Structure 1
Amino acid sequence: MDQILLTRIWILLFVASAVALFGQANQAISDLYHEGYEQLAAGNYTKAAQTFQEVVDEDPKNTGAWVGLGRAFLQLEPGSAKAERAFNAAVNRDRKNGEAYYWLGLLWTQRQNRHKEALEQLKLAVHFSPRLVDAWELLGFLHEQNANEKPAVLTFADALLANPEHAIFYENLLRTAYAYQYENIAIKALNNYLKVTDTPGRTRVDLAEAHRHKGDAKKANEIYTELEKSTVPWPVCHGHLVKARISFDLGEDETGCKDYWRAVAAINDSASRKEFYDDLCFIMQDHEYDLHAAARIDSVPTFYRRFWRSRDPNLKTELNERIPEHYRRLNEAEKKWRRSPVGYEHSILIHERSVAGGDEKSPFRNLNLVGDEFIDVAHFPKALPRDRTINDLGVVYIRHGPPSEEIRPNFSSAGYNTTWIYKKEKNRPGMIFHFQRIGEHTGWVLEAIPSNTENLERLDSRYADLQDSLYMNGRLAPAVRGLAEQARAISLLSLQTGMTTETTNYHIPERPMDIPFQYVIFKGETANEVELYYLIHGGAVDLDETQKVDVEEFLCIHNQKWDEVTRHTRHIEQRLNLSPEQWGGSGFVMREAFPLPPGDYFVEFQLLDNVGIKRAIHKDTVAAPNYEINRLMLSDVIVAGEIDESRTYAFERNGIPFSPHMFYAFRRDDFIGIYFEIYNLQQDIAGKTQYEISFTLQHAELDEPERPRSVLGFVKNLFMDKRQVTTKFENEGRTSDDYIYMNLQFPDRRSGQYRLIIQVKDLQSGQTSARQALITLL
């Protein structure tokens, strides 16, 4: 009995000892396992590989160690066979190991032309491990790289529903759905996402935007209206911008602009800033890009207000008509002229790019420039993304709207070549753009020389010669090469113009009319004194049945930052005792005066004829000089009819009455009155000034005035009828600032256009200053 008990005790002791030894072994393996992953995290890949190898040698069923070993090998040698064997070992021991499939998928991406195998492994990874975020991301992006557009969108949709807390999938779902025009997938996914998200307001806004992007602005508006009625919070900036886009699509421009400015006012982070930038980068000029990049987040709303104010085609109206026009163009371009957002990266696009510019045997092959390569030579705007989702034709459309004329080849090439012609108009120069469609993913690209010139002889007969040369082999004849180079130069000039300008198709509803006007700037006590003169005349403005003139005046001035400096309106109603026939040859001058500090300004002046339903618009830049600097300077010159101090005129300055002449056209026996002011004359110790004034009447065909002559020579030359005459005289004063007025007459001058050049020389300091006016003698 004692022997049996002793045996049992020895057995128990042996088992306990074995268990203890086994536990110690497992602990050692576990320690090595964790040490291997610490080495991986620290970048010690060689040591990690050695550590994991020890683990799998001791425990071949340890799938985590096989994955770690494969990862270490993958870092030491991307795409290596050793890494593949390690990952396969993990899969063979656990067929549902999503992590192992993910690393196998990553491994296949590191091998040339093996994306198909990578996609297969990544699909298994997300199937068995739907919470594996990295696998979803790589799978979606790999679909994009291989132009699998719909699978890419579906991948991000599935990833979002499996991982609703990860914003990256939400953003990529919307990005790809809009870029590839699979809005229906986004709409379905967002409706499902609404059931699990804790931010339903943002999701409802994006659901409305998805419907708008799909082309159903009415449904989008219904969703947005329901959201506004609810108590659900929603992102103010993003929400109002979406509502503005919906309103623009519905043609509700005033409502759209109100929401647009609410969105602008709510810009408060980099995401909202970028959303506006993505909409406007297609028209942003280089200097605006620099200002935008340098602006602090709190000053971005001010930047966008200035950005649009500078483009407002009619400052008199509260609505900025250019904003809805831009967004409608952008919406159309996104639908019609898209391209892959990954640019020319993957193999399909590389192939499309390689065939751009026509057949390899084309004699134009070495002369032609295509796409971004061409834009680079002309001028690639800083703000225009190279990975944009809108192709070149869409970019031109966003900037300039529909062309005046489109020319396409006949038959089979009609869908692959087109030329857009923008005829010269008041608000834009003439431009010609040639496009070639080089693939489904790249779309329309600009080209310097049209790869198919069929039908372009309508534009220029020389294109027929170029078309004939397309069928030639070998070198171009010198004459034909010259034509090709001319065509390229024309395209280059058009592209330089097109990428640095933009065009609005907004048209004033009233008929245009011509109203002469002029700015005259004088030195004031605290700022410059600007006087605006304009002529209301019977050749433009109509009388009503009571012989009354009814016009509205509008003046708006902005500084270089497009801050509004002054805005003025006036309603002018004046009854005239004139018949329409008498009024046709009559008119009266009006004046507006206002202070303006030195600097450069944008000025818009409008005059609306309420009787004839006509409008005159003048947009100009005005440079207000700094008259306070210590240098001799002259004011602008007022050219008037005869100045007679004994008569009363509507206007006067320094007690000198005058009536400005708005057309600067005089009969040869008329007196021409001139008035100007001289500033910063140097005084001697007695406070006296001395200066010389010279007047030169120079025929407009001459470039340089002759040397001044004496008064006798001036009179003599009048009778000799030469095309240029000059006289001068000296004057004295008692103040550093002075004014001059006088009447000139040129009875013996020939009819024509002349420059009246006025030059003043300070005899104390030796400084000179000059002004000139262009007059016509009838």
Structure 2
Amino acid sequence: MQPAALLLVLSLAVQQPDSLVTRAESLLAAGALPEARRAAEDLQRRRPNDPKVLTLLGRVHLAWPVVGRFRAESLFALATRIAPDDPDPRYYLGHVGLALGADDGEAIARPALVRVLALNPDYRDAWALWLRLYRGDGDRRAALDALALHAGNPTADLKRAQLLVELRSYEEAVSLLKRLRLIRPDDPTPHALLARARFEQGRDTAGTAAYDAALRLAAYDEDSVLWHQVRSIASSAERSRYAAATPRERDAFFRFFWARRDPDLRTAANERLGEHFRRMAEAQRYFALLHPNARYYHSRFMQALWDVSSARSFSVRPSRAEIASLAGAVPCVPELPGVRDWSAFQTFTPRLGEAVGEGSPNLEDALDDRGRVFVRHGRPDLRLVFGGDAETWCYQRPDGWLRVTFARSRTGDMLVTPIVAGESESARRLLETDVASPTPTLRFAFWPATFRGSGGRRTELVLFPDSAAAVAVLLDDRGLEAARDSATDHALHLAAPPGRYLLAIDAVRGERSARFRAGFSLPAYPTGELSVSSVLVATGAAPPVRAALETAAPPRLRLRAAEPMRFYAEAYGLVREAGTVRYEAVYHFERLDGGGFLGLGGRARVTTIAFEREQRYGPTIIESLVIDPGRLPRGHYRLVLEIRDAVIGTRATSASLEFDLR
């Protein structure tokens, strides 16, 4: 052997253990598992009772696909016996349990992670790992006792406060949180947890004050605690908006989030806030995910495999005959049958195409599908339980019933399992929307019109509801009120600068109520530019005065063909010439129901009526037209008014107006 080669062999033979540790760590990080294992086993032969070496070798086995987990468990367990006060092997023992999943895995992970918290409440992400496990009240108390060993440590006390709230020991939690607010003045978490505790107690005034304080610190919410409190009811669009929001924009995001859910515009408080936290507490108590680490929630392949096999097992899914029996026993009939329901009726078990793994909505709040629906919609109007394997929930809405069936899956958890046509579509709607109590029972309609406000800097919105009494509010993108009005048996008036708003309307007719929440754009009517307001319509007896048209306007835009009709609009920015304005008014009536025999005429037909006008100049020019009976046949129409300035040739059009002539 050459001297150089002999020197290399000798240097390897006497390689120090510390360098072997470094090499094994590097190989493990690079994913070179066979080489990392050989290096770690070499270390173990040299230092068989070194807990750090045992932990390193256990980590190599843990990274080995499937087969290495049990060997890793034995190595970590040995390390904990040798070094009972070292949190590292227990931390990785928790990882073994999570990797194994199911009940056996959780039985390994739970005590290991609780011991880590007892040794060091800030150790790595041990707390986050423990939260991924199913936890009953006994498990919470065990973690609480472990954290109590570090009373006075702000991090440990914050975790203790969360557990105390979950255990409904509210006053003890409040005492801790009030102290933590002083210790951590820039942290929204103590305020957010205090709000949760107060809301769950039913002390909504105190809860609102604490929540408002949390929102003022939302820019510093590094752990996304405020988002985690509300994501269970967020829509897909809201999830996208939150993901795109900067820290400075979070306060406005949450205020707008709750403003659009305010169930009663007549009160100063937002009752939906307290209701949400109380629903969540009830859902976590009664509909918790029993097996959050089951492969079903972490693997699309396992989800598909279990869904197909579920369709053939009575313990998981009823048979065709039992489907018919169950369907006949439930009096509510879903109103939303769709194409997706065909496969459900053929005894397949289609899930809803949702994310799996860390993005799974079931894992976000550790709720089964009943809990997810409950948080959004509350208690069902009708609930039928079929033994311990299935139950059907029905919610009554103004447009019909929503119905969803849950069946116990192979994980042991209750998941959406459509059994009759309409349930799949109902489930999608229930899991995308949320409703405050009391549930609206009124089918409600209104139509809007906009006009230039005073000075041209504001736009006036006029709403014509079909209810006896209504309240309307415009909310800006920060959730703050820009305008408000209420009325009984007449139009509502709101004025605000042009822009995008949330329009919120509460309507009441008799004992029934309705809510409307949607985005609305107020158009600009700038000074010096030609523009046209919305068009109003009423019976021909009304004079060409806006107030008179507003009083006589039909709530649902239904007009009698046997009576004359008056149309009214305002033109702004017409150019003056010799003290007058000259323009052409062109009315385009597009018939949308086709006409012809039985309304089967096919193509839409347009009737155009045009006039050349000359009026004395003014900043607002009134344009009005009366159509006598018989000039337009009965039907459903869309009207657009076009104004052409005869002096300079500019033109502008109104927003479209749809009405029925009967």
TM-score (norm 1): 0.65
Given the alignment, which residue of 464, 473, 478 partners 1:556? 473
State the SS of the aligned residue for 1:445: strand
State the SS of the aligned residue for 1:282: helix
Letter in 2 for 1:436: A
Cα distance in 2, alignment partners of residues 283 and 170 from structure 1: 25
- The alpha-carbon deviation at position 122 of structure 1 amounts to 0.6
Moved more, 287-296 or 690-699: 690-699
Q: Is the 8 A contact 1:338 1:443 kept in 2?
A: yes
Cα distance in 2, alignment partners of residues 619 and 69 from structure 1: 61
Given the alignment, which residue of 375, 382, 403 partners 1:398? 375
Given the alignment, which residue of 422, 439, 461 partners 2:395? 422
- The alpha-carbon deviation at position 327 of structure 1 amounts to 2.0
- The alpha-carbon deviation at position 183 of structure 1 amounts to 0.6
Given the alignment, which residue of 437, 459, 465 partners 2:408? 437
State the SS of the aligned residue for 2:70: helix
Q: Does 1:310 align with 2:202?
A: no
Cα distance in 1, alignment partners of residues 466 and 237 from structure 2: 39
Deviation readout 1:539-581 (Å, 9 max, x if unpaired): x58xxxxxxxxxxx744212356442123568xxxxxxxxxxx
Q: Does 1:246 align with 2:205?
A: no
Q: Does 1:494 align with 2:458?
A: no
Cα distance in 1, alignment partners of residues 358 and 90 from structure 2: 35
Q: Is the 8 A contact 2:192 2:211 kept in 1?
A: yes
Report the equivalent of 2:111: 154
- The alpha-carbon deviation at position 70 of structure 1 amounts to 6.4
Letter in 2 for 1:193: H
Cα distance in 1, alignment partners of residues 298 and 255 from structure 2: 43
State the SS of the aligned residue for 2:266: coil
- Which residues of 2 match residues 197-208 of structure 1 at below 5 A? 197-199=152-154, 202-208=155-161
Cα distance in 1, alignment partners of residues 31 and 145 from structure 2: 43
Q: Does 1:54 align with 2:37?
A: no
Structure 1 pair 106/205, CA: closer, same or farther in 2 (3 Å)? Answer: closer
Cα distance in 1, alignment partners of residues 518 and 276 from structure 2: 23
- The alpha-carbon deviation at position 395 of structure 1 amounts to 2.3
Report the equivalent of 2:274: 324
Cα distance in 1, alignment partners of residues 640 and 301 from structure 2: 65
Cα distance in 2, alignment partners of residues 371 and 677 from structure 1: 53
- Which residues of 2 match residues 97-108 of structure 1 at below 5 A? 97-108=50-61
Report the equivalent of 1:774: 659
Structure 1 pair 256/737, CA: closer, same or farther in 2 (3 Å)? Answer: closer
Q: Is the 8 A contact 2:446 2:464 kept in 1?
A: yes
Q: Is the 8 A contact 1:554 1:569 kept in 2?
A: yes
Report the equivalent of 1:762: 644
- The alpha-carbon deviation at position 304 of structure 1 amounts to 0.8
- The alpha-carbon deviation at position 604 of structure 1 amounts to 3.1
Deviation readout 1:685-719 (Å, 9 max, x if unpaired): 997524144586979773877565xxxxxxxxxxx
Structure 1 pair 383/253, CA: closer, same or farther in 2 (3 Å)? Answer: farther
Q: Is the 8 A contact 1:344 1:353 kept in 2?
A: no
Aligned-residue CA RMSD (Å): 4.9
Report the equivalent of 1:255: 206
Report the equivalent of 2:614: 732
Q: Is the 8 A contact 1:535 1:662 kept in 2?
A: no
Cα distance in 1, alignment partners of residues 45 and 500 from structure 2: 75
Letter in 2 for 1:146: L
- Which residues of 2 match residues 293-692 of structure 1 at below 5 A? 293-335=243-285, 336-342=287-293, 344=295, 354-358=305-309, 368=348, 370-371=350-351, 374-375=353-354, 384=361, 389-406=366-383, 414-423=387-396, 425-426=397-398, 430-440=401-411, 443-447=413-417, 450=419, 487=421, 490-507=422-439, 519-524=448-453, 525-530=455-460, 532=462, 554-559=471-476, 562-568=479-485, 590=490, 593-606=493-506, 622-628=520-526, 633-639=532-538, 642-643=541-542, 659-663=551-555, 672-679=565-572, 689-692=582-585
Cα distance in 2, alignment partners of residues 105 and 356 from structure 1: 34
Structure 1 pair 766/228, CA: closer, same or farther in 2 (3 Å)? Answer: closer
Q: Is the 8 A contact 1:221 1:243 kept in 2?
A: no
Cα distance in 1, alignment partners of residues 513 and 574 from structure 2: 44
Cα distance in 2, alignment partners of residues 687 and 381 from structure 1: 69
- The alpha-carbon deviation at position 193 of structure 1 amounts to 2.2
Cα distance in 2, alignment partners of residues 592 and 73 from structure 1: 72
Deviation readout 1:54-102 (Å, 9 max, x if unpaired): 227xxxxx8767767866886795246744642441344xx3x212221
Report the equivalent of 2:216: 265
Report the equivalent of 1:9: none
Contiguous gaps of at least 5 residues in structure 1: 1-48, 57-61, 451-455, 457-486, 542-552, 571-587, 646-650, 709-725
Cα distance in 2, alignment partners of residues 246 and 261 from structure 1: 14
Cα distance in 1, alignment partners of residues 522 and 81 from structure 2: 71
Moved more, 387-396 or 678-687: 678-687
- The alpha-carbon deviation at position 181 of structure 1 amounts to 6.9
Moved more, 102-111 or 336-345: 336-345
Cα distance in 2, alignment partners of residues 89 and 756 from structure 1: 87
Cα distance in 1, alignment partners of residues 82 and 511 from structure 2: 73
Cα distance in 2, alignment partners of residues 527 and 517 from structure 1: 26
Q: Is the 8 A contact 1:375 1:495 kept in 2?
A: no
Structure 1 pair 76/52, CA: closer, same or farther in 2 (3 Å)? Answer: farther
Cα distance in 2, alignment partners of residues 150 and 190 from structure 1: 20
Deviation readout 1:341-365 (Å, 9 max, x if unpaired): 4462899998787333335879979
Structure 1 pair 301/387, CA: closer, same or farther in 2 (3 Å)? Answer: closer
Cα distance in 2, alignment partners of residues 661 and 85 from structure 1: 87
State the SS of the aligned residue for 1:433: strand
Name which one, 1 or 2, has greater alpha-carbon Rg. 1
State the SS of the aligned residue for 1:193: coil
TM-score (norm 2): 0.74
Letter in 1 for 2:525: Y
Cα distance in 2, alignment partners of residues 230 and 337 from structure 1: 29
Structure 1 pair 636/113, CA: closer, same or farther in 2 (3 Å)? Answer: same
Letter in 1 for 2:389: Y
Cα distance in 2, alignment partners of residues 381 and 84 from structure 1: 31
Q: Is the 8 A contact 2:490 2:551 kept in 1?
A: no
Q: Is the 8 A contact 1:641 1:658 kept in 2?
A: no
Q: Is the 8 A contact 2:594 2:605 kept in 1?
A: no
Q: Does 1:211 align with 2:154?
A: no
Report the equivalent of 1:584: none
State the SS of the aligned residue for 1:415: coil
Report the equivalent of 1:16: none
Q: Does 1:78 align with 2:37?
A: no
- The alpha-carbon deviation at position 320 of structure 1 amounts to 1.5
State the SS of the aligned residue for 1:402: coil
Structure 1 pair 692/122, CA: closer, same or farther in 2 (3 Å)? Answer: closer
Letter in 2 for 1:445: L
Cα distance in 1, alignment partners of residues 240 and 262 from structure 2: 21
State the SS of the aligned residue for 1:102: helix
Given the alignment, which residue of 223, 226, 249 partners 1:276? 226
Letter in 1 for 2:462: L
Cα distance in 2, alignment partners of residues 264 and 729 from structure 1: 57
Contiguous gaps of at least 5 residues in structure 2: 1-7, 314-319, 321-342, 596-601
Cα distance in 2, alignment partners of residues 342 and 536 from structure 1: 52
Given the alignment, which residue of 174, 199, 208 partners 1:224? 174
Deviation readout 1:157-190 (Å, 9 max, x if unpaired): 2223333563634554455474897112112112
Moved more, 72-81 or 131-140: 72-81
Report the equivalent of 1:287: 237
Moved more, 184-193 or 331-340: 331-340
Deviation readout 1:659-689 (Å, 9 max, x if unpaired): 5344567777755444322345577899752
- The alpha-carbon deviation at position 142 of structure 1 amounts to 1.0
Letter in 2 for 1:313: P
Letter in 2 for 1:266: L
